A and B are shown apart, each in its own frame.
Chain A
Amino acid sequence: MEHEATQLEKQHVHSVYENTAAYFSDLQTKAWPRVRNFLLEQKPGSLVVDIGCGTGKYLSVNSQVYNLGCDYCEGLVEIAKKKGDEVLVCDNLNLPFRDQCFNAVISIGVIHHFSTKQRRIKAIKEMARILTPGGQIMIYVWAMEQKNRHFEKQDVFVPWNKALCSRHFSESNQSGDKGEFVHSAKGQDIHPAQLVISECSYQNNLQPEADSKHPRSMDHCLPTACCMKISEEENRFYSALGRSFRSWFFSRSLDESALRKQSDKMKHLKREGVWANSAVPIQHSRHCSLDLGHHGALLNEQSLDDDDEVFVESLSLKKPQWSPATDALKDLSLNGGHPSAAQSKGDKASFINGPVEDKDCVCDCNKDGAGKSDASKFFKRTSTTDSTDSALDSALSVGEQTDAMLDTKAFMRYYHVFREGELSSLVEENVPELQILSSCYDHGNWCIIAERRG
């Protein structure tokens, strides 16, 4: 499981950040107020570290303290260094700091990238270890509960869109014209400059499971369009990403996979509280384990290396890239759509499930009738939740719809989104050295502040 976890994170966290780091220097996002305040409240002369600092957004908030930043991604750290920050490259799971040396630690949008519960716990424990007694930590993670969108599952793959990070994007947010957007049709090149940002209303998609069988009658924009409502307030990297997502890729979490394996073998399974209480059903057909072998689900290794090609060219995915996935799915469907059986072969033959769910389409923009029908056709196919053949259908329909589907050359980034109370419970039950002082919901994130017990 550790190996699978590291592979998943390597492919869908580290590699993505490394390959997209160059675009981050353009991205001027505001520091989040609560985080700023937390930093500003630290006493002068404090030693403060930002674990997962990225480009160092928070490292210059409080000049009265010593700010150190670290990140796994060399590319991002380099950017921070150029800004004059004191930074280093390291692993959250193995922090190269002596015990109890920091007065404050911040972890903003980081631990949701860890793919298993144990790793998330380890990350928090490491951060607690380096805190001096009485020192405080602030943790921000992406919330499952979102205002305008519904995460159906907690383990998601999210495409990264260059347009979000480019200068063109942030400059073009002047347009307030509803419904005016440029979407990419098959075969057309897409340049960030061509994407006009418009004001869109988002689907409020808190539909119960049962309804998802019925195709939406509402208009959907083509999944490829990137439409975002940008206001000053919203111009934050994470929430910006969240709004722009046109498709969600859900995977069975590695924890779930492990559990399923066990339950297949054993009658009695001691389930951890989280799973036992989880309201999210384990769905058989649609949610397949992430392929962790070299049949990288949507992207093979090559596409990740060639940045230019990925971002300048059009959206068409070459067929060969799909074959491993569809092969994998054939395996799955042969096994009656039960990923666990496929998994028992060992890491092959699994696939990210049907990507686009109608409930997660983010836009109401519907200028293009043709796009609409494509989209709704597509949505129809993937909207069923319990038909066992839908997994294969999804793959095929995705294969056919690759051009229209999404910016498939976008890097897929893994997130485990947190339910309400999950982060607190995680700390309370597993990290006794920390005492939670407060928790809140802030712009789509769960946030806690905890203190190292002395």
Chain B
Amino acid sequence: MKLLTHNLLSSHVPGLRPGGGFPLRIEAAEVRVRPVPFNAAFVSRLVPRLRWDALREAAESLPPEPTPGYEADEEFLRRLHHVLLEVEVLEGSLQCPDSGRRFPISRGVPNLLLSEDEA
């Protein structure tokens, strides 16, 4: 699971407060870093889609906010690229911040199914 994916995920346990369930807390038991070809335009376009605070929580190497002109800031984009696309959580879990419910990540694949009782 890449951190970009994590940025899109939200807990869907029923009965959460509005806006609750995000971001899922990462508990990483095994992480791997794998190079991915860098594409500045691609990364740059992702910026507005991101929930920045959640991303920062996931990766503390980032600045407090994307600074204006980030599109041209290659160092920033590379760092962002690294965080979003090159870091993968292989084993661990994602915890719903409101309900505490944990979703496992196994072999890089998060399983977000709720049981029939829960849903």
| Cβ–Cβ contact B112 & A96, under 8 A | yes
| Cβ–Cβ contact A86 & B8, under 8 A | no
Q: Which of B9, B11, B43, B116 has the most CB of A within 10 A?
A: B9
Point out the residues of chain B lying under 8 angstroms from A77, CB to CB: 109
Tell me the complex Cα distance, A43–B45, Å: 10
| Cβ–Cβ contact B110 & A88, under 8 A | yes
Interface string of B2-13 (1 = CB under 8 A from A): 101100111110
Point out the residues of chain B lying under 8 angstroms from A98, CB to CB: 8-10, 22, 51
**A94 within 8 Å of B (CB atoms):** yes
**B83 within 8 Å of A (CB atoms):** no
**A78 within 8 Å of B (CB atoms):** yes
Known: A66-B4, A68-B5. A101 touches B49 (CB 8 A): yes
Q: Nearest Cβ distance between residue B46 and chain A, in whole angstroms?
A: 6
Residue of A45, A93, A97 near B44 (CB, 8 A) is A45
**A74 within 8 Å of B (CB atoms):** yes
| Cβ–Cβ contact B5 & A44, under 8 A | no
**A87 within 8 Å of B (CB atoms):** yes
| Cβ–Cβ contact A88 & B111, under 8 A | yes
Interface string of A97-113 (1 = CB under 8 A from B): 11001100000000000
Main secondary structure of the interface of A (DSSP, over half): mixed
Residue of A81, A91, A97 near B10 (CB, 8 A) is A97
Residue of A44, A46, A66, A96 near B12 (CB, 8 A) is A96
Point out the residues of chain A lying under 8 angstroms from B12, CB to CB: 94-96
Residue of A44, A87, A89, A93 near B45 (CB, 8 A) is A44
Tell me the complex Cα distance, A97–B107, Å: 20
Known: A44-B42, A77-B109, A78-B109. A88 touches B1 (CB 8 A): yes
19 A-B pairs, CB-CB below 8 angstroms?
A: A44-B45, A45-B45, A46-B45, A66-B4, A66-B42, A68-B5, A78-B107, A86-B1, A88-B112, A89-B113, A90-B111, A94-B12, A94-B114, A95-B12, A97-B8, A97-B9, A97-B10, A98-B9, A101-B8
| Cβ–Cβ contact A89 & B111, under 8 A | yes
Known: A47-B49, A101-B8. A81 touches B42 (CB 8 A): no
Point out the residues of chain B lying under 8 angstroms from A95, CB to CB: 12
Query: How many residues on chain B are close to A (CB under 8 Å)?
Result: 30
Excluding A78-B109, A96-B12, A98-B10, 12 further A-B contacts by CB distance (< 8 Å) are: A44-B42, A64-B39, A66-B42, A66-B46, A86-B5, A89-B110, A89-B113, A91-B119, A96-B103, A97-B10, A98-B8, A102-B8
**A151 within 8 Å of B (CB atoms):** no
Residue of A45, A86, A101 near B42 (CB, 8 A) is A45
| Cβ–Cβ contact A64 & B42, under 8 A | yes
Query: How many residues on chain A are close to B (CB under 8 Å)?
Result: 28
Residue of B1, B44, B51, B112 near A90 (CB, 8 A) is B112
Q: Which of A86, A89, A96 has the most CB of B within 10 A?
A: A96
Known: A78-B107, A94-B119. A89 touches B112 (CB 8 A): yes
Q: Nearest Cβ distance between residue A15 and chain B, in whole angstroms?
A: 14
Q: Give the nearest-CB partner of B103 in chain A.
A: A96
Chain A contact residues, CB within 8 Å of chain B? 6, 43-47, 64, 66, 68, 72, 74, 77-78, 81, 86-91, 93-98, 101-102
Tell me the complex Cα distance, A81–B2, Å: 12
Point out the residues of chain B lying under 8 angstroms from A91, CB to CB: 112-114, 119
| Cβ–Cβ contact B113 & A68, under 8 A | no
Q: Nearest Cβ distance between residue A60 and chain B, in whole angstroms?
A: 14
**B97 within 8 Å of A (CB atoms):** no
Q: Give the nearest-CB partner of B42 in chain A.
A: A45
Q: Sorted from nearest, which 6 A-B pairs have the closest CB atoms?
A: A45-B45, A96-B112, A89-B111, A98-B10, A90-B112, A88-B110
| Cβ–Cβ contact B107 & A96, under 8 A | no
Q: Give the nearest-CB partner of B24 in chain A.
A: A96
Q: Nearest Cβ distance between residue A199 and chain B, in whole angstroms?
A: 41
Q: Nearest Cβ distance between residue A327 and chain B, in whole angstroms?
A: 28
Point out the residues of chain A lying under 8 angstroms from B11, CB to CB: 96
Point out the residues of chain B lying under 8 angstroms from A90, CB to CB: 111-113
Point out the residues of chain A lying under 8 angstroms from B10, CB to CB: 96-98
| Cβ–Cβ contact B112 & A44, under 8 A | no
Point out the residues of chain B lying under 8 angstroms from A74, CB to CB: 109, 111
Tell me the complex Cα distance, A78–B110, Å: 11
| Cβ–Cβ contact B46 & A6, under 8 A | no
Point out the residues of chain A lying under 8 angstroms from B22, CB to CB: 98
Tell me the complex Cα distance, A91–B107, Å: 19
Residue of A45, A68, A89, A93 near B41 (CB, 8 A) is A45
Q: Nearest Cβ distance between residue B11 and chain A, in whole angstroms?
A: 7
Q: Nearest Cβ distance between residue B9 and chain A, in whole angstroms?
A: 5
Point out the residues of chain B lying under 8 angstroms from A64, CB to CB: 39, 42
Q: Which of B41, B44, B107, B109 has the most CB of A within 10 A?
A: B109
Point out the residues of chain A lying under 8 angstroms from B43, CB to CB: 45
